[in-house]
């Protein structure tokens, strides 16, 4: 019997996994430069946290959660998103009692029961960043800039930043009612009608042409913003312009999770078709209170690392996209007794910080040299019986084919010098 991963699980194996690592590292690097700390947090949480935090009317909570009862009778759910768990963790560890805002990032798998397709999985990978404890619009712009710089570091260019404001508890209810009134008059199916009552903003997100056509004159939130929200939004827009970050006003942009208010944004990639969202975020000023904490305004984003890999592949071509292992030296033992010498050499190189691999098993010269070429290394270091008895190592430059014999005692230093020149 052979097994396969469960349906919809996204997996990465070399060399493609290196691109996933690079994507995570680019965002982590950008977050570290902005002084965000690393948080490692629960992969599963009390189900009630997501019901209260993400919102009962969201699709995620209604249809997509992996919920289970554990052996102790606890109702648990694999995290469908990060923010509720991050805020829970910040409160539990009292980070909000120190300096504000609390700035943290985390990364790992998230789980949603979705219809799997390219760019949409049941187990997928996110990088998540949150700034908790300030209403300052500068932090809204900061989170966007951190993401923007990470995409740029990855060489992703076909990116559009969509920006909107969803108002707050003063102005959103007024808008919600106006929108419901507009939507109720349209010709829509039963499920969409139900959505009008539960979560009308989500109807704006409907991708079907017959629905879209009817939404052309729908009221937009930006026309309903109260003075405070409108001012906040203007400051964010001005800050982004000042930072040289282009954005598109997207008055229809809503997000799948209920807790968002004020600043809301999404990063879209031009080449990814239906699953074009490579990241998104926004403010969630009421979330802390929703899950039993003190008032603690926050903002953050999550990016889909799977989709970033797809974006990199679509811009660069799959073959060029993956950096590989970055092996620098490849040891080639010729003859059984030489394995020990080669292992000693590659271990010394590794201890000196050089990425080194070697041929294993008994391979003839041709097969071993093919492995050396395949490794992507710059140098092959050969030790056969002759080299062994002369106390030398034969170095082959795999770029130009030049060879030379170097005393074994100087081999490590010789390679390090060549590699750094
Ligand atoms: P969300 O948590 O829904 O705001 O999503 C944030 C980002 O995660 C999106 O922009 C996507 O890039 C990614 N994402 C969300 N759901 C999935 C999924 N099912 N499969 C792959 N990526 C996803």
Give me the helices (H) in 38-136, please. 47-53, 59-63, 83-92
- Indicate the pTM of the whole model: 0.93
CATH of the domain at 82: 3.30.930.10
- Mutation probe of ligand 1 site: the residue of 82, 256, 277 with most atoms within 8 A of C-beta: 277
Contact between 337 and 44 (Cβ < 8 Å): no
Q: Give, using CA atoms, the residue closest to atom 9 of ligand 1.
A: 279
42 is a domain residue: yes
Instruction: Tell me if 418 CB under 6 Å of ligand 1.
Output: no
Cis amide prior to 193 (ω within 30 degrees): no
Taking the C-alpha atoms of residue 3 and residue 245, their distance in angstroms, rounded to an integer, is: 47
Instruction: Tell me if 53 CB under 6 Å of ligand 1.
Output: no
Give me the helices (H) in 154-301, please. 172-184, 190-198, 200-203, 209-214, 227-242, 287-290
Which domain, by its residues, includes 370?
Answer: 329-420
Look at the chain and report how many structural domains it folds into. 2
Contact between 138 and 239 (Cβ < 8 Å): yes
Structure tokens at 234: 């203007």
The crossing angle, in degrees rounded to 10, of helices 227-242 and 137-153 is: 40
- My answer on whether 366 and 391 are in the same domain is yes
Q: Which domain-ending residue is among 319, 347, 369?
A: 319
What SS3 state is found at 106?
A: strand
Q: Give, using CA atoms, the residue closest to atom 17 of ligand 1.
A: 120
Instruction: Tell me if 23 CB under 6 Å of ligand 1.
Output: no
- My answer on whether 356 and 384 are in the same domain is yes
**pLDDT truncated to tens, each residue of the chain (421 aa)?**
799 999 999 999 998 999 999 999 999 999 999 999 999 999 999 999 999 998 887 889 989 999 999 999 999 999 999 999 999 999 999 999 999 999 999 999 999 999 999 999 999 999 999 999 999 999 999 999 999 999 999 999 999 999 999 999 999 999 999 999 999 999 999 999 998 998 899 898 888 999 999 999 999 999 999 999 999 999 999 999 999 999 999 998 987 677 789 999 999 999 998 899 999 999 999 999 999 999 999 999 999 999 999 999 999 987 777 776 789 999 999 988 999 999 999 999 999 999 999 999 887 889 999 999 999 999 999 999 999 999 999 999 999 999 999 999 999 999 999 999 8
């Amino acid at each position: 019997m052979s097994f396969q991963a469960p349906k919809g699980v996204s997996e990465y194996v070399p060399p493609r996994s290196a691109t996933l690592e690079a994507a995570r590292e680019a965002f982590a690097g950008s977050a570290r430069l902005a002084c965000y700390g690393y948080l490692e947090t629960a992969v599963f949480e009390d189900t009630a946290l997501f019901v209260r935090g993400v919102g009962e009317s969201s699709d995620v909570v209604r249809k997509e959660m992996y919920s289970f009862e554990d052996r102790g009778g606890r109702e648990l759910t694999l995290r469908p998103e990060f923010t509720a768990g991050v805020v829970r963790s910040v409160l539990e560890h009292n980070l909000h009692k120190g300096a504000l805002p609390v700035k943290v990032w985390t990364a790992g798998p998230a789980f949603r029961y979705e219809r799997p397709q390219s760019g949409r999985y049941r187990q997928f990978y996110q990088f998540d960043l949150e700034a908790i404890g300030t209403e300052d619009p500068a932090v809204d712009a900061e989170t966007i800039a951190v993401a923007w710089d990470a995409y740029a570091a990855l060489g992703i260019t076909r990116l559009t930043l969509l920006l909107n404001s969803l108002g707050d508890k003063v102005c959103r209810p007024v808008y919600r009612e106006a929108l419901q009134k507009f939507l109720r008059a349209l010709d829509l199916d039963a499920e969409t009608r139900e959505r009008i009552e539960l979560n009308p903003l989500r109807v704006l997100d409907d991708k079907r042409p017959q629905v879209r056509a009817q939404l052309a004159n729908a009221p937009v939130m930006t026309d309903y913003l109260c003075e405070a929200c409108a001012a906040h939004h203007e400051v964010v827009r001005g800050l982004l312009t000042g930072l040289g970050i282009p954005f598109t006003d997207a008055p229809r942009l809503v997000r799948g999770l209920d807790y968002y208010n004020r600043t809301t944004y999404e990063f879209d990639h031009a080449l990814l078709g239906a699953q074009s969202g490579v990241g998104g975020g926004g403010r969630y000023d009421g979330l802390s209170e929703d899950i039993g904490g003190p008032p603690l305004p926050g903002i953050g984003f999550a990016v889909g690392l799977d989709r970033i890999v797809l974006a990199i592949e679509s811009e660069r071509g799959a073959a060029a996209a993956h950096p590989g292992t970055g092996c620098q030296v490849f040891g080639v033992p010729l003859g059984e007794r030489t394995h020990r010498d080669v292992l000693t050499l590659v271990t010394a190189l590794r201890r000196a910080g050089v990425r080194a691999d070697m041929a294993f098993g008994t391979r003839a010269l041709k097969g071993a040299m093919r492995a050396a070429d395949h490794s992507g290394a710059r140098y092959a270091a050969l030790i056969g019986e002759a080299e062994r008895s002369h106390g030398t190592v034969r170095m082959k430059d795999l770029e130009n084919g030049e060879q030379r014999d170097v005393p074994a005692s100087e081999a490590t230093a010789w390679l390090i010098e060549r590699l750094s020149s």
